[in-house]
Amino acid sequence: MRVLIAEDDEYLANTVAAGLRREGMAVDVALDGDAALEHAAVNRYDVVVLDRDLPGTHGDDVCRALAAGRSDSRVLMLTAARSVQDRVEGLDLGADDYLPKPFHFAELTARIRALARRAAAPPASLDHGDLSLDPARRVALRAGRRLPLTRKELAVLECLLAADGRPVPAEELLERVWDEEADPFTKTVKTTIGRLRAKLGDPPVIQTVRDSGYRIGEP
């Protein structure tokens, strides 16, 4: 899951981003409305956590722009205002959910996950042969045995299974599973694929497709 945090309080934005990364999410940060729109124009986000009172392009206008552009991203609007009218206005702008400040991190995380499920409801199970993954429960099995996968390994496996035989480039995996802080020249993807192959065991199911990436199954 990839999330954009659009929040002008740099400490809060970076603290939330760090917490969400520990939860296995790929997170980018924008500190004003203009940067938020630039990020949304070049990256596909499952959820945008949007502070309503952003400098530059106001958060209301960011929300309107995302809605007008028929963005697939779900918008969770944040604001210090707590009145019912403020919540109604935020939802009328096109936000999918609304959370007043201050908030508990656990609630923010739960709301982000709920919005992501609404944005693209995952199938009950992704399967290939004796390998299966339950996206909602974050559980992978092979031949009925639960696999001890990390959050990143689960996310990579989900991308590969969801591609249904299409080779997935390393760059796409880096974008969907990590975030813009990841070094594009890193060997992170290759290393994670190596660990994932070892945990999946034999016979091997992940194929390397020269100049195309990685895939599970035949095209």
Quote the CA–CA distance of 156 and 173 in Å, as a whole number.
7
Residue 184 is predicted with a pLDDT of: 59
Of the chain, the percentage scoring pLDDT greater than 90 comes to 39
Cβ atoms within 10 A of the Cβ of 195, count? Answer: 14
For the chain, which domains are there? Answer: 2-119 (3.40.50.2300), 126-216 (1.10.10.10)
Q: Quote the percentage of the chain above a pLDDT of 70.
A: 87
140/147 Cα distance (integer angstroms): 6
User: Bridge-partner residues for 29, per DSSP?
Assistant: 5
pLDDT tens figures, 97-155: 888 888 999 999 999 988 887 755 556 688 898 999 988 778 899 998 999 998 889 88
Q: What pLDDT digit, counting tens, does each position of 187-197 carry?
A: 888 899 999 99
Indicate the length of the chain as a whole number: 219
Hey, what amino acid is at 97?
D
Note if the pTM is more than 0.85: no
CA distance 15 to 77: 17
Q: Encode pLDDT of 146-188 as tens digits.
A: 999 988 898 899 889 988 888 888 888 887 787 666 665 678 8
Residue 142 phi/psi, 5° resolution? -135, 125
